[in-house]
Amino acid sequence: MIKLKKGLYCEAKIPDEETLEAMEDARLGRNLEEWESVDAFIDKGIGQECLKRKREEPQ
């Protein structure tokens, strides 16, 4: 458990090698997909998952 700003707590785990590589690729822009529009992003399903998580987060 780690304490975030504003006193919120969050579960944390040490990332494995694959996750670290993906994070580095993302930082360098190597694993970015191009989207035609926001609707295309949402239609792909990734956006739907992001929206679902956002709705489930406590305010």
Q: Is the model's pTM score more than 0.75?
A: no
The tokens of 44 are what?
Answer: 């792909």
Give the pLDDT confidence of 4-23 residue by residue, as tens digits: 788 888 777 777 888 888 88
Number of domains the chain is built from:
1
Q: Which residues pair with 2 in a beta bridge?
A: 10
Range of the domain at 13: 2-56
The answer to whether 23 and 15 have CB atoms below 8 angstroms apart is yes
Measuring CA to CA, which residue among 52, 48, 47 is closest to residue 33?
Answer: 47
Residue 38: both structure tokens together = 């926001």
Q: What does the mean pLDDT of the chain come to?
A: 73
